[in-house]
Amino acid sequence: MLQVKRAGHSTLTTPDIGRIVDYFTRIVGLSLVARDKDRAILATKSGLEAIALERGDAGEAPRLSFQIAPGSDLDALAGRLAQAGLKSELRHDITPGIREALTFKDPKGTTLEIFPDCAFAADDDTFTGVMPLKLGHIAYTCPDVAGMVKFYCAFLGFRVSDWRSDFFAFLRCSRDHHTVNFLRDAKTAIHHIAFEVRDWSDIKRASDLLAKNKITLTWGPLRHIIGHNIAIYHKNPDGVVIEFFCEMDQMHDEELGFFEPRPWHQDPAAAAKSVGRRYAVQLVGTDVSQSEPCPYRGSVAVRTGEEMTCYEAAIIS
């Protein structure tokens, strides 16, 4: 019904806006576009709005914006949504760069802000923090992953890129392998927010910068099996997991139907078996003889007694 083109910005709540603004500007390397007592807007150095902060409980993500084709008629889209039984509202001045957006809730309660046109923030040529290229993807936990996938594909034009068994879905709206992820859990919450950086050298620079600021990596550096992006993870001061990544798989032609070919695509099962076993051993400190293939794609299993735990296969760099 709609055709989303890219992720716009994610709204996060925090009890201490000043502290989180400092983190996103000094560590992540975003630019402060607007600020008042209860709200702040941050953009990449090139001017793409990426994060909106609002005063509230730590680590909640009540809204998410997406851009559709520039010049789209939001009134006409609202009528089509109404015919499908979905109530929407036209709102103005969402951010300094978004003057008009159509808003409605997805099944897990997140307000989606759909906008056709945006203005870039002023260029910022200061060299501060990691300085990502863009907000890459957003992952959520929720009880009904299949329902979320159905909604995002039917109403927003997303396509399924990958599943891990039936509990973790990866959806794309552009060339990028995924723009939203849904992981099954009893609690609905933000799982992580990911920013794309230029290349592996930026991942190394980000790792050094985090270490100098006494911010511990919670995972990585690694290369994922699903999406094949190189990534590192850490937590922001509110406990929200932040990922920096590069080299994600690209779908250059939907009609051809395959992601950009890379060496590991030739035999992903062998890669998961060989690399994944080593990674699982490093992760849990068990002996190689105790690891075994896992039924989930891109995973391996480690058995302790009668219990078997699956881990994603990844390369430690």
Tokens of 225: 């099996």
Cis peptide bond prior to 221, omega within 30° of 0: yes
CB 112 within 8 A of CB 63: yes
* Spatial separation of the C-alpha atoms in residues 261 and 264, rounded to whole Å: 8
Neighbouring-strand partners of residue 94: none
Q: Which domains does the chain have, with CATH numbers?
A: 6-246 (3.10.180.10), 268-316 (no CATH)
Tokens of 7: 């992720």
| Whether residue 157 has pLDDT greater than 50 | yes
In this structure, the dihedral spanned by the alpha carbons of residues 221, 283, 215 and 213, taken in order and rounded to 10 degrees, is -60
- Tell me which DSSP letter residue 176 carries: B
Residue identified by tokens 């730590």 is 58
Residue identified by tokens 């200061």 is 126
Tokens of 249: 């798989």
Higher pLDDT: 284 or 104? It is 104
Burial profile 272-303: b = 16 or more Cβ within 10 angstroms, e = fewer:
bbebbbbbbbebeeeeeeebeebebbbbbbbe
Residue 240: name the closest of 306, 186, 192 by CA. Answer: 192
Q: Tens digits of per-residue pLDDT, 106-148?
A: 999 999 999 999 999 998 989 999 999 999 999 999 999 999 9
Q: Tens digits of per-residue pLDDT, 47-91?
A: 999 999 999 999 999 999 999 999 999 999 999 999 999 999 999
